[in-house]
Amino acid sequence: MNRFARTMEDLRLRFTIWWTAHVDAPGCTLGEEHMRRKDSALEWMFLGNPIGRIVFRIMSANAWTWTRLVCSPIPMVLIITDRILLACVSFVLIGLTDLFDGWFARRKNQVTEWGEWFETRVDWVFLLLSFIGVFVRYRDMRPFMLVAGALEIVRAIGGKHLRESRFTPHPNQSGKWKMPFFVGGIGLRFIHDLVTDFASVPPLATGIVVLCCYACVTTGIALSFYSLFMHLCDFRAWKRQQR
């Protein structure tokens, strides 16, 4: 392993140790507090008022997932037709169903292996369609979308190869952060479009927003590449151990 790979491995291990200690480990401060607040809010939303209780009785975890799948094209269509504010609102509202299906599955004891598989695929369909809308609407975002898409194709092909090799990659927590950067960058691009409608907003401010957008998306791409690179290093080390 060369010096660069050793440096990246050291960074990965440091981040994984920090993440496990503060977020993933049972009883850790950040993870437990986040889950407690989220569950408390959802408990009030669906059990703390009459309308919520009706929704709780009618809906199931899979019903929320199907709702997200059916509504997935809406943000894409709104982005392409240049209705950015409505696209942002619809994206957030549809994205909330991702919280709902997980909470309903735990609260109603509806957790199944198929449900987890289906929910993950629907998430990717929802995001993919939204990214397609961004690709069609914004020419300046197309190179970023193409690179991000290529990395995900490599990840999908590589993941299949790893499973066939019976190798389980070491969990690389940095990969979990790529999507917030992608979504945040696209959100900043939307904000740029919205604020340019007001003549009182100086060009310098809108320029800074675009630069922040590019920085966020570039960071997401870097994290995706980093995740793939470390999985490759783990796989090579595992192959050497098998010999």
pLDDT in tens, 91-114: 999 999 988 888 888 888 888 888
Please report whether residue 118 resides in a domain: no
Please report whether residue 51 resides in a domain: no
Asked if 172 and 231 touch (Cβ cutoff 8 Å), the reply is yes
| Total length of the chain | 243
Please report whether residue 187 resides in a domain: yes
pLDDT tens-digit readout, 188-197: 999 998 888 7
Separation between Cα atoms, residue 60 and residue 70, nearest integer Å: 15
Please report whether residue 234 resides in a domain: yes
Please report whether residue 173 resides in a domain: yes
Please report whether residue 104 resides in a domain: no
User: How does residue 36 score in pLDDT terms, banded at 50, 70 and 90?
Assistant: confident
Please report whether residue 177 resides in a domain: yes
pTM (two decimals): 0.78
Please report whether residue 184 resides in a domain: yes
Name the domain count of the chain: 1
The parent domain of residue 169 ranges over: 138-238
